[in-house]
Structure 1
Amino acid sequence: MLPIKVDCPVVGIYFFIPYLLELGIIDIIKQCKLPGSSVINNVSACLSMLALKLLGHERLGTMDNYDAEPGLGFFAGLSLLPKATYMCTYSCRTSEQMMLNFQKQLLQKFMVEQPELYGGDCINLDFHSIPHYGTESEMEKVWCGAKHQALKGANTVFAQDNKNNMILYTRADILRKEETLEVKKFVDYYKSIKKEITETLVFDCKFTSYKILNDLDIDDIHFVTLR
């Protein structure tokens, strides 16, 4: 096959390819069996989303600004990056267990290959709401701190290493009636990776219930609540 020359508006994203290969991220995507199709396999789908993040964009909807650039498509193993509609609906094809398994395998790999990134003595846990402005939204109302009001949207939780701000755990679409259980779900998840939790968990005093705080105390999980 003869070499071809293609212009790329942001060639810097290609410098990440050795890093992706060294960490085995491509293999993890394949093992987790993330969604794909006969046209766009799961690796190309994930690399397409990664390309947009490496370009510095938070929203997948901005994909339309780059889906006519072959140089960016090649990064994901495609002739062109997928359309924004495909990228924005990709999460609808995934399951909660699929994503938990994916982030678990990534975290296990990162902790082995780059342990210096996870040396914090505390883990911060907090909810983050994502407003949904659809006129026929069936989502629950959640408190949006940035808007200072309750809006329909998705409630998500994040666990973050306090030293280097590395994300340890995420989960989305949390119902209000299940919010108090999130800290226990994180503990179970993190124990499946580290076996023992030596870090101190830090969260708001309304993050969970007194009963669950008592359970954490019984399990010898150290925590600090913020008022």
Structure 2
Amino acid sequence: MDELEIVYQDEYLAVINKPSGLLVHRSRIASGAREFAMQMLRNQMGRHVYPVHRLDRPTSGLLIFALNSDVARSLTEQMTARQVRKTYHAVVRGYVSDSGTIDYSLKEELDKLADADADTDKEKQSAITHYECLKQVELPYKVSKKHDTTRYSLVQMQPETGRKHQLRRHMAHIRHPIVGDTNHGDGRHNNFFRSHFDIHRLLLAATALSFHHPVSGEPMNLELPLPDEFHRPFIE
């Protein structure tokens, strides 16, 4: 893989555009993986880096790394206090209503390997996601047996909480699963995007971050353009 795209860097932190399919760091649940964002950035910058938060392997977008432990601690405190505003975009099945809030508690998803010792009786955790529909399209293709056409929406989302797979699970909960989601999505639509659009990834990206600089206190507002794949269904 080529070098990582560094969106912002100073002496205290670096923010990258993580590609879809890249793990943030080594994990027992993906023992065959050979490349990791943390190690790649460390090698690229020639110094130790500290991941402040995570993105799921198939999700692309903005990812913050601190460049010392004090900065990592300060940014983690902002994350815990919900002072970091995160914006995501996704392509989902169906026509989504103009805007809304999903307030649906989630039981923690456990992995058989990574979470083997975790409490399986843990109570559901509060989970809140705000969303807004930006675009809609109806395509003349029969993907499901019930309909002769198929509909999709481009959605912007801002999670208040950070539960595991929250956005993917919340959109599936309101029956608008994210395209490319192999765990919570619709296989027929995933296959359609692979065959018709040559899109083989999860169409979920972290596109904006707002937080206060951990040293100067200045407001930081970072944005990424939408990946090309997100536009493709809407310009056919």
Using structure 2 for the length normalisation, give the TM-score: 0.23
Per the normalisation by structure 1, the TM-score is 0.24
Higher-strand-fraction structure: 2
Higher relative contact order (CA 8 A, sep 6+): 2
Asked which structure has the greater CA Rg, the reply is 1
Q: Which has the higher helix share?
A: 1
